């Protein structure tokens, strides 16, 4: 199966783990790989101070279909910027 990264991901993303190998069967909604992304976060404290900073979040990509992994065109550590 050939899948493309979804446009709704919080790009850029950094691949942290490939959970399936070539020739592995995959069920629909099964996690294929894990990644992290950064997003700006605003937090306040009890004194009314507000801080904005970047925070790293973990996430994963699930298979939209059942099939078999034929190979990867990404590796752990790759940064994917998406289209645009």
Give the count of beta carbons closer than 10 Å to the beta carbon of residue 35. Answer: 23
> Looking at residue 11, what is its pLDDT?
92
- Banded pLDDT at 1 (limits 50, 70, 90): low
C-alpha 75/C-alpha 31 separation (Å) is 16
Q: Which residues contact 47 (CB under 8 A, 6 or more apart)?
A: none
Strands, DSSP E only, in the chain? 13-18, 25-26, 31-44, 50-62, 67-68, 79-80
Q: Are 52 and 42 in contact (CB under 8 A)?
A: yes
- In tens, the pLDDT along 28-69 reads 999 999 999 999 999 999 999 999 999 999 999 999 999 999
């Amino acid at each position: 199966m050939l899948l493309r990264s979804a446009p709704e991901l919080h790009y850029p993303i950094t691949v942290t783990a490939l959970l399936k190998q070539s020739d592995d069967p995959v069920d629909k909604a099964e996690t294929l790989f894990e990644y992290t992304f950064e997003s700006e976060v605003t937090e306040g404290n009890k004194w009314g101070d507000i801080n904005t900073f970047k925070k790293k979040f973990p996430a994963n990509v699930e298979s939209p279909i059942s099939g078999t992994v034929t190979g990867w065109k990404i590796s752990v550590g790759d940064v994917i910027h998406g289209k645009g």
